[in-house]
Structure 1
Amino acid sequence: MRAGVHRLSMAHPGDLSALEALLTAGEVKAPDVVAVIGKTEGNGGVNDFTRGYFTQTLMALLGRHLDTPPEELARRIPCILSGGTEGVLSPHYVVFTRAADDTPPDPAWPALAIGRAVSARVPPQDIGTRSQIGTVAETVRAAMADAAIADPMDVHFVQIKCPCITSARAEAARAAGHTVVTADPNRSMAYARAAGAFGVALALGEATPGDASQEGLLAAFQLFSTRASVSSGVEVDAVEVVLFGNSPTWTGSLRIAHRPMADALDVGAVTQVFSDLGLSAAPQLGPEDGARVRAVFVKCEPDRRGRIRAHRHTMLDDTDINAQRHIRGAVGGLVAAIAGDGRIFVSGGAEHQGPDGGGLIAAIAAAGPVRAQGEAA
């Protein structure tokens, strides 16, 4: 099996002309598309409808090429989007494909492996609870099996989208005799992300069932996953998982690496993850190394203690600009400056995703000869 990664720019949240051109030219085959991850220029909040707009447009496009109802595709092709392209971040999306390959795999060179899985619908009363933790863990294990990865240590990045509790969903749950963890939609997103991170940690052996408890959500910040990136939104009602690792049974020149980020100024983690992929950032990737990069993913969080390396920050006290928008712009600028490219997936809300007040970074790059951007390796 061979993975393909295509990073594409967009003019607005419904612009999939770049993908349509690749599909028409046969450079991407619609049946090979297994997932899409992207950044839209919305606010990243509960009412960020740019994510639903993009998803609807994507499924309609793939539906035409596959002669399949869009709603059916939406149930099997994860489309995970993060709103908010503050600062130098550029709206873009990454299309992941996989296809059979007759080339014998090289056991000495594990190649990028991609797995996906979608859970059953998650009812509002389960969001941010032990039940969601279990659902996420089960869905991550299914994605590992889908990628034919047996060893959790071969997993480098797990991107998840979980539903949140809207006012309407909370009311429906109450009418059915259930209680919800919170009726505050924004707070529910934090609980959903935290439960998602615990589920990944449980599935990958980073936490025990006793550690990954509901009581620890948004409280036991010493517990985290170094490979989980979790988003939450109104546009989904199930857990969507896209899992990445390196496997000796896959082929191609693409590989993935990851590093935890200790804080929002951890330049060392950024340069090191590129170094792990054979790329040199001194201080910025050169044109040839930059052309080998296929995707970069970042999770970040304003330090809740109000300080970064002993000095006060004001992100949490700013009533004009949401703290998550602050941190996406700041860390996005740091990573983009090193990568030399603003097409970085930077997502805030990193509860239990990397060290407290920090986060994580993962990158996919091609080895060997430089290829054109968007070309599968």
Structure 2
Amino acid sequence: MPTASVGVFKIATKGPGDVSGLMAMIVSGAIDPTSILAVLGKTEGNGGVNDFTREYAVAALCTALAPQLGLAPQEVEQRIAFVMSGGTEGVLSPHITVFTRSEVAQRPAGISGKRLSIGMAQTRDFLPEELGRSAQIAETAKAVKAAMADAGIADPTDVHFVQIKCPLLTSERVEAAAARGNKTTTISSYSSMAYSRGASALGVAVALGEVTSDIRDDDVLRRYDLFSKVASTSSGIELMHNVVIVLGNSGTSASEFEIGHAVMNDAIDAPAVVSALQSVGLEVGLEVGLGVAPRAKAGRELVNIFAKAEASPDGSVRGFRHTMLEDTDISSTRHARAAVGGLIAGLAGTGVVYVSGGAEHQGPAGGGPVAAIARMF
């Protein structure tokens, strides 16, 4: 497999339609638009079914990149994977993370070992009645393996984060299934987000060998002992297939970056966040005037942290009751993003981190995966 150089650029945004930071980096030459492979973003919407900030952000990015790539805006979305996660509650700050990949003749001097690599794949379009069920699990597993191959990763233990954008159900999609004599997992658009996220995460677990037993349709959102330690899935109204992005370390990469991960057992698992930072050579310590912040050793710096968050389905955290699932005014996913986002921001020394809500089968119930990317210089 050819040697690839993977770049990572974190860019703050002033709103879901703000592309000025990205365009400035393209104009300066820091980013070659033809090398952009994926964009992961946090937008300031509600993260629900009707969160149109996600679609707005993607439309703005496609419109801005179209002339740079000589493509129509709708063609840009076919070339670049866009995953927008709505909801920047609490101290979370809206931003995008741009991943680039380009081939190089050989590794530059000083780069050795396994470095950050990225791969992409897509599933076929799903029928509404397939969402949240075994068909989505199986097709996602196939796409994860294809994305691993695209990234040059053979060993599943080298995979540290798998970001998936998956579909959800709408009234029209539910009615279309019914017209064919089929029932969907749920008739609720909001509930369908969880089913789709959960089935997609189980697909990752199957692909990586984290779950080896057969998974039944009834296991989704019920067998929480089945989960992936690296899956991060987000539902959206704008597609009917899964977009899979695999992030890991590969010996074929010539990147300046490295990724590592840990698993949070609950929403206040600070040691897991510290472990993720340590896995890429960063230590957490008290800095005068800054509070807690990561310290680099051996010339490393934090680029971004990616995590999943959810309200524990048993209604408690370490034996004490929480009210996130009972609050009728605010979605539990919004509570969870704010709580986990605040914890990670405090340890990372910045609120510009990627925390996505809804962690069904993504880490143990009430917890979730947390991955860190660092640059070595």
Normalising by structure 2, report the TM-score: 0.94
The answer for the alignment partner of 1:371 in structure 2 is none
Answer yes or no: is 1:134 the counterpart of 2:144. Answer: no
Q: Secondary structure at the match of 1:346?
A: strand
Q: Secondary structure at the match of 2:313?
A: coil
Q: Secondary structure at the match of 1:165?
A: coil
Distance 1:34 1:327 in 2: 29
Q: Secondary structure at the match of 2:325?
A: helix
Distance 1:75 1:182 in 2: 29
Letter in 2 for 1:36: V
Contact 1:76 1:118 in 2 (8 A): no
The answer for the alignment partner of 2:148 in structure 1 is 144
The answer for the alignment partner of 1:42 in structure 2 is 45
Identity between Structure 1 and Structure 2 (%): 47
The answer for the alignment partner of 2:33 in structure 1 is 30
Letter in 1 for 2:180: A
Distance 2:152 2:372 in 1: 21
Distance 2:300 2:260 in 1: 17
Q: Secondary structure at the match of 2:169?
A: coil
2:196 alignment partner, one of 187, 192, 200: 192
1:257 alignment partner, one of 254, 260, 265: 260
- In the TM superposition, what are the counterparts of 1:226-265 in structure 2 within 5 Å? 226-265=229-268
Answer yes or no: is 1:285 the counterpart of 2:308. Answer: no
Distance 1:77 1:122 in 2: 20
Long gaps (5+) in structure 1: 369-377
Shift of 1:76: 3.2
Q: Secondary structure at the match of 2:293?
A: coil
Distance 1:218 1:237 in 2: 20
**Aligned-CA RMSD value:** 1.7
Distance 1:315 1:180 in 2: 27
The answer for the alignment partner of 2:365 in structure 1 is 356
Deviations 1:98-155 (A, max 9, x none): 1112333789521000001122222212111111111111111111111111111111
Q: Secondary structure at the match of 2:60?
A: helix
Contact 1:279 1:285 in 2 (8 A): no
Distance 2:213 2:63 in 1: 40
Distance 1:107 1:220 in 2: 43
Q: Secondary structure at the match of 1:182?
A: coil
Distance 2:127 2:300 in 1: 43
Shift of 1:244: 0.4
Flag the 1:175–1:188 CA change in 2: closer, same or farther, 3 A.
Answer: same
Shift of 1:175: 2.5
Deviations 1:54-100 (A, max 9, x none): 11111111211111122222123211111110010000010000111
Q: What is the aligned length?
A: 367
Deviating runs (4+, > 3 A) in structure 1? 105-108, 286-291
Answer yes or no: is 1:344 the counterpart of 2:353. Answer: yes
Deviations 1:227-263 (A, max 9, x none): 0001111022210111101011111321000001011
1:294 alignment partner, one of 278, 291, 303: 303
Q: Secondary structure at the match of 1:334?
A: helix
Letter in 2 for 1:202: V
